[in-house]
Amino acid sequence: MKFGVVVFPGSNCERDCYYIADEVLKKETSYLWHKDRDLKDSDVIIIPGGFSYGDYLRAGGIARFSPIMEEIVDFAKKGGIIIGICNGFQVLVESGLLPGALMLNKNLKFICDTVNLKIENDSSVFTNQYKKGEVVRIPIAHKEGNYFAEENIVKQLEDQDRIALRYCDSNGNVTDEANPNGSVGNIAGVLSVNKRVLGLMPHPERMAEEILGGNDGIKVFHSILEGVV
């Protein structure tokens, strides 16, 4: 299995993601430059966090037009595995690979914290090593993480089991108080129709080894290893 990590001007988590794939998972990993069209035979694409193109216009708004994203959209249409983390989630939404929009946090401020998350889907390529209802702790760091979608889209996501995880309290209760950014339905991550594309605001790569304070995030990557067919 080969991983490809996209690099945009302004990316700042590409090395973290590369390290997890290459050093922790021990899988062949390549950087994918935004101006290139070569996915380097990657089986899994990671779009990391950061501020692609300086977040001008809006987060992910320019990155969607990059040459590499044209190839990634085509990759997705062929059933490719893609995970977009934080800014990567924003890019996936702007590219039309996931529904909804990511708006300014409800407090209009950048939030850097570790939050509780409830696993809602335990059968996808990205979540099969978790248990449904499991509560995990993973860091967030964003200013535009307020997920919004129309009521009918949210219902569709729920009906199709495409909400991967939600913000919750330590007991798994999905409450307004546990929602750090105002996301509709406390949604922290969503899946595509075929469940082979995941976008999430939390950073699993930052909680993937005990030395980082916990390893709740590593199961996302172990799930990929187990789930890709």
Residues noted as catalytic: 86, 203, 205
Side-chain-side CA neighbours of 196 within 13 Å: the count stands at: 15
What's the per-residue H, E or C state across the chain?
CEEEEEECCCECCHHHHHHHHHHHCCCEEEEEECCCCCCCCCCEEEECCECHHHHCCCCCCCHHHCHHHHHHHHHHHCCCEEEEECHHHHHHHHCCCCCCEEECCCCCCCEEEEEEEEECCCCCCCCCCCCCCCEEEEEEEECCCEEECCHHHHHHHHHCCCEEEEEECCCCCCCCCCCCCCCHHHEEEEECCCCCEEEECCCHHHHCEHHHCECCCHHHHHHHHHHCC
